[in-house]
Amino acid sequence: MMNEAIPAVTPLVRSLPATIPFVGPEAIERRTGVEFRARLGANESVFGPSPRVVEAMRQAASESWSYGDPEVHELRLAIARHHGLPPEAISVGEGIDGLLGLLVRMTITPGDTVVTSFGGYPTFNYHVTGHGGVLVTVPYRDDAEDLDGLLAKAKQTRPKLLYFANPDNPTGSWHEADAVERLILETPPETILILDEAYGDLAPPSALPAISLLRPNLVRFRTFSKAYGLAGIRVGYAVGDPSLIAQFDKVRNHFGISRVSQVAALAALSDQDYLRETVERIAAARQRLSQIAVAAGLRPLASGTNFVAIDCGGDGAHARRILEGVLRRGVFIRMPGTAPLDRLIRVTVGRDSELDLFAEALSGALEEAHVR
């Protein structure tokens, strides 16, 4: 009804729901009036960025009167050097979310097919639906993406895009590089394979195909939001064959990355020692988080990320009761929205003090859930 008043808006956009792929913890706090004591739901890194990054951002703050470089030249060069690739193989964007949106816009017209896992990354689905694409989904298998199933579906439907996250969100599972390489090589040539490696820095090195493996129909995504501890700056990048990467320049918001964010990402990249330390801290915290789940009688899934998915051993309603109990106790966590993954709760790693809070909240929530 409301939209009848604005005929200029396309029928496609008029038909879209006004949903937000993820509700932020701030919105939950506003709704419940309870302030979270631990923020373990958005797969951010509580260990934060290198102190050198924070210092560089503070220095750069006073330069914010000027636009950041629209070519993101220095950062792009530094990323290329880091991977031993030409800068033409890199495009920097406003987080992987922003780059996914651009890639969907570059490829999808209404009615085009896209293959992904059922229960996979909601923000990708949001972009596909927003451009009128048709999602064809393949169920998870043993709480991991079904690589062979996805490949078979791609060969059958010849989609424009095939989405594969390695390691995966929300399960934390991963596939080994040789399997991923097979996926890359066997993806139909008319399909672009999206290899979302947001958690790549946190995965076993054996899970990552050589970054030099470029194909005109392959794009890999990396980010500063996870291991580098900089979710708040919104910087991610695409790695791919220069012929594909060049397309981003035709559609991106050239002045879209803030000056302070460019400085922050550059400083983060230059402190690889800090990254290594953080990866170790995250691995240790992941182990402790898994132990907390086991101690509570639940089953943690193996994870190559900065979070652990915990099987609550019941159905979606049961897991949701536990989730809500944990939230009520001031600990922000999330859970997948669709069966069968909705048996899981997803908990980001934290410092010992935060994991203590989670352990306590989980214990209380479980007690409450079983009493009912």
Considering only residues 172 through 211, tell me which ones interact with a second copy, judged by CB under 8 A: 189-192
Q: Which is nearer to a second copy, 219 or 293 (CB)?
A: 219
32's CB contacts (< 8 A; 6+ apart) are 327, 328
**CB-based burial label for 241 (10 Å; 0-12, 13-18, 19+):** middle
40 vs 133: CA distance, rounded Å: 32
- Residue 78 DSSP one-character state: H
Work out which of 75, 106, 238, 361 binds a second copy, going by CB under 8 A. 106
254 sits near a second copy (criterion: CB under 8 A): yes
Contacting a second copy within 122-141 (CB under 8 A)? 123, 130
230 sits near a second copy (criterion: CB under 8 A): yes
Taking Cα atoms as reference points, which of 354, 369, 320 lies closest to residue 36? 354
28 vs 38: CA distance, rounded Å: 13
**CB-based burial label for 289 (10 Å; 0-12, 13-18, 19+):** buried
Minimal distance, residue 265 CB to a second copy, in Å = 11
Q: Which is nearer to a second copy, 240 or 300 (CB)?
A: 240
Work out which of 165, 207, 231, 293 binds a second copy, going by CB under 8 A. 231
232 sits near a second copy (criterion: CB under 8 A): yes
State both tokens at 108: 């999808």
42 sits near a second copy (criterion: CB under 8 A): yes
199's CB contacts (< 8 A; 6+ apart) are 165, 167, 169, 226, 227, 304, 305, 306
Work out which of 146, 157, 179, 258 binds a second copy, going by CB under 8 A. 258
Work out which of 90, 173, 198, 246 binds a second copy, going by CB under 8 A. 246
Minimal distance, residue 311 CB to a second copy, in Å = 26
Q: Which is nearer to a second copy, 15 or 206 (CB)?
A: 15
215 vs 191: CA distance, rounded Å: 11
Minimal distance, residue 60 CB to a second copy, in Å = 8
157 sits near a second copy (criterion: CB under 8 A): no
Minimal distance, residue 295 CB to a second copy, in Å = 27
Minimal distance, residue 197 CB to a second copy, in Å = 18
- Give CA angle at 213 (242, 137), nearest 5°: 90
Minimal distance, residue 189 CB to a second copy, in Å = 7
Minimal distance, residue 86 CB to a second copy, in Å = 15
Work out which of 32, 34, 81, 109 binds a second copy, going by CB under 8 A. 109
Minimal distance, residue 249 CB to a second copy, in Å = 5
Minimal distance, residue 241 CB to a second copy, in Å = 8
Taking Cα atoms as reference points, which of 126, 163, 179, 118 lies closest to residue 143? 118
Residue 55 sits at φ, ψ, to 5 deg, of -60, -45
Work out which of 76, 175, 222, 234 binds a second copy, going by CB under 8 A. 234
- Give CA angle at 110 (105, 116), nearest 5°: 70
Residue with tokens 């195909």: 209
Contacting a second copy within 44-103 (CB under 8 A)? 44-49, 53-54, 57-58, 61-71, 73, 94-95, 97-98, 101
220 sits near a second copy (criterion: CB under 8 A): no
**Percent of the chain as helix, strand, coil, to the nearest 5:** 45, 15, 40
26 sits near a second copy (criterion: CB under 8 A): yes
**Length of the chain as a residue count:** 372
The count of residues interacting with a second copy (CB under 8 A) is 90
